[in-house]
Amino acid sequence: MLRKIHHVGIVVRNLEEAFGFYRDTLGLPVHKTAVVEDQGVKAALLTIGQSEIELLEPINPNGGVAKFLERRGEGLHHICFETDDVAAELAATKAKGIDLIDQAPRKGLAGMICFLHPRANHGVLVEYAQPFD
Ligand code: CO
């Protein structure tokens, strides 16, 4: 079962510059930053109530996020729904014939995660996340 919007992912050119708005102007606390190698990004999670904003700065020019930035510029990249069982959620989605990017959950900044293909979701890249805690 999907419980809530866990986070909204935003691609930025430079994480430190983006903190100037999201952290300093909006006042959202940064509670986690990490390099996520398999997504080719340096990422940060900022808390907003029960949800989060995920900022993604590409560090690998051949990665999907770098290509997104090149093609479309900075902006909204994906929406992530929280689940308490990402493997079951992914299997149920696959059984409904939805196009997936990930065939199995993998480790991401927000926990165990997976992505569905945007063509299955009316143009929006959708992520599922099961937080580690
Ligand atoms: Co995300």
Q: pTM (2 decimals)?
A: 0.93
Domains in the chain with CATH codes: 2-130 (3.10.180.10)
Using the mean position of ligand 1's atoms as its centre, give its distance from the Cα of residue 88 in Å: 19
Per-chain mean pLDDT for the chain: 96
> pLDDT for 40-80, tens place per residue?
999 999 999 999 999 999 999 999 999 999 999 999 999 99
Distance 68 CA to ligand 1 centre (A): 14
Contact 106, 38 (CB under 8 A): yes
Q: What distance in angstroms lies between residue 95's CA and the mean position of ligand 1's atoms?
A: 23
Q: How far is CA 111 from CA 31, 61, 72, 129, in A?
A: 14, 24, 27, 6
Q: How far is the CA of 77 from the centre of ligand 1 (A)?
A: 9
Q: Residue 120 — pLDDT band, cuts 50, 70, 90?
A: confident
User: Mind listing the pLDDT tens digit for each residue in 8-23?
Assistant: 999 999 999 999 999 9
Distance 97 CA to ligand 1 centre (A): 22
Task: Name the phi and psi angles at 38, rounded to 5.
Answer: -75, -15
